[in-house]
Structure 1
Amino acid sequence: MSDADLQRFRESFNPPAWLANHAEVTARDIHLVYALKPGQVYCTSPKRFAVKITDASGEEASIYDKLLRLGPASPNHVLPCTVVWSDTQHPFVIMPCLTDLTNAGLGKWNSTSCARIFGQMVEAVEMLHRQKIAHMDIAVNNFVMAKAHHMPHHDCIELGKIYIIDFGVSHHFELGPGRQSSIKLPPTQVPKPQGITHLDPFSWDIYCLGFTFQTLLGWVYRDRPQPWMLRRYATWLLGNEQGCTAVCHCRPGAREALWVITFIGWILDAAGVSSKVLDLAWNGSASVFGSRALRPGPP
Structure 2
Amino acid sequence: MDARRSSNNELVAIKKIRRDTHEIQIAQYLSSIQHPHNHTVSILQILDDPVDPDLSLMVMPYLRQCNKPSFGTIGETIDFINQTLEGLAFMHRHNVAHRDIAVENIMMNAQALYPDGHHPVRLNYAPDGIHPVTALPRHDHQIKYYYIDFGLACHFPEGASRYVVGDVGRDTEVPELSSHVPYDAFKVDIFALGNLYSKEFEEKYKDLHFLLPLIERMTKRNPQERPSSEELLAQWVEIRDSQPKHIYRWRLSPKSEPAIGRMINDTVAVALEGINHLKKYVK
Shared fold, TM over 0.5: yes
Residue 79 (structure 2) aligned to one of 116, 119, 123: 116
The structure whose residues are more often helix, as a share, is: 1
Paired residue type of 1:102:
N
The corresponding residue for 1:208 is 192
The corresponding residue for 2:98 is 135
Are 1:174 and 2:157 an aligned pair?
Answer: yes
Are 1:52 and 2:52 an aligned pair?
Answer: no
Higher relative CO (Cα under 8 Å, sequence separation at least 6) belongs to 2
TM-score (ref. length: structure 1)? 0.64
The corresponding residue for 2:168 is 187
Question: What is the distance in 2 between the residues matched to 1:269 and 1:61?
Answer: 43
Q: Any conservation in 2 of the 1:136–1:186 contact (CA below 8 Å)?
A: no
The corresponding residue for 2:30 is 67
CA distance 1:53–1:186, change in 2 (3 Å): farther
Shift of residue 92, structure 1, vs aligned partner: 2.0
Are 1:163 and 2:163 an aligned pair?
Answer: no
Shift of residue 57, structure 1, vs aligned partner: 2.6
Paired residue type of 1:81:
I
The corresponding residue for 2:276 is none
CA distance 1:240–1:68, change in 2 (3 Å): same
Q: Return the index of the structure with the highest Cα Rg.
A: 1
Question: What is the distance in 1 between the residues matched to 2:166 and 2:193?
Answer: 16
> Any idea what the Cα deviations from partners look like across 1:3-43, whole Å, max 9, x if unmatched?
xxxxxxxxxxxx7xxx98xxx9655658xxxxxxxxxxxxx
Question: What is the distance in 2 between the residues matched to 1:89 and 1:272?
Answer: 52
Residue 265 (structure 1) aligned to one of 231, 235, 240: 240
SS where residue 213 of structure 2 aligns? helix
Are 1:95 and 2:71 an aligned pair?
Answer: no
The corresponding residue for 2:228 is 253
CA distance 1:93–1:229, change in 2 (3 Å): same
SS where residue 224 of structure 2 aligns? coil
SS where residue 117 of structure 1 aligns? helix
SS where residue 18 of structure 2 aligns? coil
Q: Any conservation in 1 of the 2:13–2:60 contact (CA below 8 Å)?
A: yes
Question: What is the distance in 2 between the residues matched to 1:82 and 1:171?
Answer: 21
Paired residue type of 2:14:
V
Shift of residue 271, structure 1, vs aligned partner: 6.3
Question: What is the distance in 1 between the residues matched to 2:37 and 2:218?
Answer: 20
SS where residue 37 of structure 2 aligns? coil
Shift of residue 54, structure 1, vs aligned partner: 1.7
CA distance 1:272–1:217, change in 2 (3 Å): closer
Shift of residue 152, structure 1, vs aligned partner: 7.5
Shift of residue 135, structure 1, vs aligned partner: 0.3
Q: How many residues align?
A: 219
SS where residue 51 of structure 1 aligns? strand
Q: Any conservation in 2 of the 1:51–1:93 contact (CA below 8 Å)?
A: yes
- Residue ranges of structure 2 left out of the alignment (5+ in a row): 118-140, 251-283
SS where residue 235 of structure 1 aligns? helix
SS where residue 105 of structure 1 aligns? coil
Identical amino acids, percent of aligned pairs: 21
Question: What is the distance in 2 between the residues matched to 1:194 and 1:259?
Answer: 25
Shift of residue 239, structure 1, vs aligned partner: 1.3
SS where residue 137 of structure 1 aligns? coil
Shift of residue 249, structure 1, vs aligned partner: 2.0
